[in-house]
Amino acid sequence: MSLEKLDATQIRPEISGIAPYRYTLDGGGRHAVQKLIDETDAKLLLEVGVYLGGSCYDWLEHSESLHVIGIDTWADTYDARQDLTRYREINLSCFRYIDDIDAFIESTSTHGFYKSALANMSVFGDRFHPYRGAAPDVLYEIRDLGVQPDIVYIDSAKNRINLDAAYECFPEARICGDDWTWGASLGHPMQQAVNSFAEENGFRARASGATWVLDKVS
Ligand SMILES: C[S@@+](CC[C@H](N)C(=O)[O-])C[C@H]1O[C@@H](n2cnc3c(N)ncnc32)[C@H](O)[C@@H]1O
């Protein structure tokens, strides 16, 4: 499947000179998605909610024949310095692949989320395809470009909106995502969303850590 049409819709800013970093927000269970990539011999994964590319890194590193379309608004409405400094205080493991945390925070604050994400993904050459915009609308745009991913990974809104849209646009794709363990005090909204979607559409959810995967019930 050609992704040239999709790539042509995107403005790619200059990122030469921006250092790549591997920042990771991993709540566990990503091996389940990597196994799904292997089992389905996936060539194209679409991720909703890329941020700085931590999970995309895990998919692209795992399979050398995989391409990833990464959707995000990459809105610079919140301060990267504040965001990353706060994480430095609460979860140092996010920085475990980064030698110079100060330089990473400085670079990301200077260049913003979008350019930083592109720089972080540049280590995978042309296998990362950014798509800047807000889901769920962009899922319909991508479908209308004639693109059908093998896997959709959802890591943004903690509700059903992107699940429903992903299934409508890409009915053959395997659907999985993050945030299974998110929001205990709110009653685990993603678990509720995934389970209600599964029940209505003939799927069963399985989870490992923060990661969930839907299987069709035959
Ligand atoms: C938790 S972060 C994603 C983390 C990333 N998958 C990782 O593992 O490093 C959530 C991301 O979703 C993006 N996001 C939120 N609402 C969105 C929407 N409607 N469409 C696209 N991206 C959205 C945010 O900009 C943010 O970067």
Q: What is the mean pLDDT of each run of 10 residues along the chain (218 residues)?
A: 90 96 96 98 98 98 98 90 93 96 96 97 98 98 97 97 98 98 97 98 98 96
Q: What's the angle, vertex CA 88, arms to CA 84 and CA 89, rounded to 5? A: 120
d(CA 90, CA 80): 15
- Nearest-angstrom CA–CA distance, 119 and 103: 14
Asked if residue 152 lies in contact with residue 174, where contact means CB atoms within 8 angstroms, the answer is yes
With a 6 Å cutoff on the Cβ, whether 54 touches ligand 1 is yes
End-to-end CA distance of the chain: 28
Domain boundaries, the chain: 4-216
Under a CB-based contact definition with an 8 Å cutoff, are residues 202 and 180 in contact? no
Residue type, 211: T
Q: Cβ(71) to ligand 1 under 6 A? A: yes
Superfamily of the domain at 4-216 = Vaccinia Virus protein VP39 (3.40.50.150)
Cβ–ligand 1 distance for 156 under 6 Å, the answer yes
pLDDT of residue 76: 79
**pTM for this one?**
0.97
Distance 38 CA to ligand 1 centre (A): 25
Q: What is the pLDDT of residue 26?
A: 94
> How many CB atoms are located within 10 Å of the residue 70 CB?
26
Closest C-alpha to ligand 1, atom 6:
50
pLDDT digits (tens, 9 = 90+) for 81-134: 999 999 999 999 999 999 999 999 999 999 999 999 999 999 999 999 999 999
Residue 29, ligand 1, Cβ within 6 A = no
pLDDT of residue 77: 79
Instruction: Give kind and range of the element (H or E) at residue 207.
Output: strand 203-208
Q: In this predicted structure, what is the pLDDT of residue 1?
A: 57
